[in-house]
Structures are given as C-alpha cells and as structure tokens.
Amino acid sequence: MNIYHGLSDYTFSKPIALTIGSFDGVHHGHQEIIHRLREDAERLGCLSAIMTFTPHPRIVLNRDKENLRLLNTDLEKQELMRHFGIDILFFMPFNQQFLSQSAQTFLHDMLLNTLKTKHIVLGYDHRFGNNREGDVHFLKEQAVQYGYSVDEISRQEVDDMAVSSTKIRQALEAGEIGLANKMLGYSYGLTGKVVRGDRIGRTLGYPTANLQISDRYKQLPANGVYACEAQVGQDWLPAMCYIGNRPTINGLTNNVEVNILDWEGDLYDTELRIRFVAQVRGDIKFSSLAALKSQIQEDEFVIRKLLK
C-alpha cells in the first residue's frame, strides 16, 4: 500500500477508484464500503484509494473537541487499511485552506486533475466542500461531462450495516468490549510507551508496564480490569490490563497498566501494543493493599480461563 500525506508527492501511474471519509475505527460498516470499493476498482481496472483526514475534522471545526475521542490513531488506521487490501491511502491535512475550497475546486483540482480519478464510491449523506455544498448528487451531475463514474452507497445499505463509530465508542465507555469488538470486526487496541511508575504492582507480585498514551484523543475503555493480549516482538501474550486512577491508594491520575502473564523482561521506553478481549470487573476501592492483592489473584484466575 502506498501512503501519501497530501498530494504533492503523488505520481500518477494508473486510474484510481476513490472513496472519502474519516473512517474512524475502520469498523464493519467501513469494511463493507472498502469491499465495494475494491470490487469496483478490480472491475474497472483501477487502483483502490481512500482519502481520509488528519487531524480529525471536528478538531479543526472546534466541535466539542475537548470531549472528542477517536477509535484509531493515524498509524492504527494506516495498518488497518493495509490489512483490508487498499492500494493507496491519502492522509489529507485538514485545515482552513482545505475547508474553504468549493466543491467544484475540490472535484476538479484534486480528484480529477491531480489524482485522475476514474470512479468515486460515496455514501448518500456524505458532504464536502465549503459550506458542505458538494454531495453524491453533485458528483453525479458532473460525471457525464468529466467522464468518471459514481457508485452511491444508499441509505438502506448504510442502515443495514447497523454500525457506527459513535456506537462503538459508547460500548467502550460502558466496558462492553465484546460488543465493541463485534462491531469493529477485530479486537480494540491501545499503543503506548512504557514509562516508569511507582512500582506498587511489583510489591503486590504483579509487576506492570505503565503505558503512556500519547494521543490525547484516543478512546480508552471504561475504568476497570480487562483480559487482553500484549504484543512482545512478534508474539501476542496473555495479559491483564487495569485502567483507572487506583482509588485504593487515592491516585489522582488515570493509568493504563499491563501485567503480561508468565513473562519477565524490561520494556521500559519501548512501544507496547495491547488488544482487549473482555472486561472482568469495574474499578473498585479496596480497604487495604492486601485486599487488593487478593482480588487481583481472583482476576488472574478469571483472565487465564478467558484467554486459555
């Protein structure tokens, strides 16, 4: 898969079939669109291409951005698009200049003159250009004159998908990992740098890797204890994950802590990736560290059974 940040380095080699969107989560609904795009591209002899945006449009538009939470970082989105077989991925810088261009300019200058787009796959409700003036009807009106084709994802098809990024975020916020994973079509994950903590887990017999999540907009699952898997090298190993502010010791900040079962080693300053399987319990304040340790032992027993 070829990846471009903007269009300045793009060199035409073959006509493309293109779809456009934020694709946060690259969930089952998005995967249906990707499948449709790839089918159309193969039929028309085109490369399959997706245009997405960085940063997320809501950040630039300042639409409640302080409460915005995203399912994917750009790197995670990139890996998923590669997995689903896309030929070209465009990360378009979403800024005021991009936002202010008319639908006509976007179509003619970017899609047709620069990218030589032969085919466009677009949802019935997708809008683009200054004041959201462009839509699938606009594209169809221009298609005859400029010689490209349009494949519309209808309202019925979108409704049949019954999946949205919002529903997935709500499931994660409720700790419903199974539901979120089902809608995503893969296991939800986090990636963070392993940093030094206060080593309380080590004193309890459960040393943890403390993850520093660099993307402030990344959606965290609800506070609690989770069965998960952690990637060490090329291997995915069974692990326990805790998310919360450690109320038993009156913690003040939210932490993400991972204990990799039956593994010892130094992960400091490395990037650790985890994927969630199930929530075991919510966050609880215990009367003592001894009571907390006893509960962690029970959590481990449950998690080992889940991951067996």
CATH number of domain containing 129: 3.40.50.620
Range of the domain at 219: 185-307
Clarify whether residues 145 and 16 are in a common domain: yes
Clarify whether residues 10 and 152 are in a common domain: yes
pLDDT value for 58: 87
Is the pLDDT score of 98 beyond 80? yes
pLDDT bucket at 161, cuts 50 / 70 / 90: confident
Is the pLDDT score of 143 beyond 90? yes
Structural domain includes residue 170: no
- Mean pLDDT of the 242-258 span: 86
Is the pLDDT score of 15 beyond 80? yes
Range among 92-101, 169-178, 240-249 with highest mean pLDDT value: 169-178
pLDDT value for 269: 87
Clarify whether residues 228 and 120 are in a common domain: no
pLDDT value for 266: 85
pLDDT bucket at 281, cuts 50 / 70 / 90: very high
The Cα angle at residue 84 between residues 14 and 228, in degrees rounded to 5: 155
pLDDT bucket at 82, cuts 50 / 70 / 90: very high
Is the pLDDT score of 47 beyond 80? yes
pLDDT value for 214: 85
Clarify whether residues 46 and 98 are in a common domain: yes
Instruction: Give the end of a domain, one of 100, 129, 163.
Output: 163
The number of angstroms, rounded, from the C-alpha of 210 to the middle of its chain's C-alpha atoms is: 21
Is the pLDDT score of 205 beyond 80? no
Clarify whether residues 136 and 248 are in a common domain: no
Clarify whether residues 75 and 210 are in a common domain: no
Structural domain includes residue 262: yes
Structural domain includes residue 30: yes
Clarify whether residues 158 and 215 are in a common domain: no
Structural domain includes residue 176: no
Clarify whether residues 207 and 134 are in a common domain: no
pLDDT bucket at 122, cuts 50 / 70 / 90: very high
pLDDT bucket at 91, cuts 50 / 70 / 90: very high
pTM equals 0.91
pLDDT value for 130: 87
Is the pLDDT score of 41 beyond 90? yes
pLDDT value for 92: 95
Structural domain includes residue 174: no
Clarify whether residues 113 and 66 are in a common domain: yes
The chain-wide mean pLDDT, for the chain, equals: 92
Structural domain includes residue 173: no
Structural domain includes residue 61: yes
pLDDT value for 132: 87
Clarify whether residues 31 and 145 are in a common domain: yes
> What is the total count of domains within the chain?
2
Structural domain includes residue 172: no
Range among 24-38, 52-66, 123-137 with highest mean pLDDT value: 24-38
CATH number of domain containing 236: 2.40.30.30
Clarify whether residues 35 and 144 are in a common domain: yes
Clarify whether residues 216 and 145 are in a common domain: no
- Mean pLDDT of the 76-93 span: 96
